[in-house]
Amino acid sequence: MPLFYLKCKKCNKIKPILENKFELISEEKLTCRCGEKLEHQSKGPSTTLLEHLDNGAMLKPVERYSDAEELFKKRHDEADPLAGQKNFS
């Protein structure tokens, strides 16, 4: 069942609602506490690709991002060089 995020333009509150289709959400659920009508906050499509690694002998295949090496290298290169050091002087 999809989770729809509805947002009020007046008070900026976000209300999550579980429903099979957006059209089936009642008018009562589409109304904010302040009286304003809630609007659907949609998220754009994701470009993240997952790959499944399985050698046949594994109990459970490993799922990872297809570009994991690039992501971890970028994270390492952009990291703070002082992070993780214990210099309390």
Q: Examine the pLDDT at 11 and tell me if it is beyond 70.
A: yes
Contact 52, 58 (CB under 8 A): no
User: CA angle, 32 as apex, 27 and 33 as ends, to 5°?
Assistant: 120
Q: Examine the pLDDT at 45 and tell me if it is beyond 70.
A: no
35 part of a folded domain: yes
Mean pLDDT for 54-68 is 88
Q: Give the total number of structural domains in the chain.
A: 2
85 part of a folded domain: no
Q: Examine the pLDDT at 89 and tell me if it is beyond 60.
A: no
Shared domain for 34 and 54, answered yes or no, is no
Shared domain for 10 and 31, answered yes or no, is yes
More confident residue, 43 or 58: 58
Residue ranges making up the domain that contains 66: 49-80
Which of the residue ranges 6-10, 18-22, 44-48, 63-67 would you say has the lowest mean pLDDT? Answer: 44-48
Calculate the average pLDDT of the chain. Answer: 84
pTM over 0.75: no
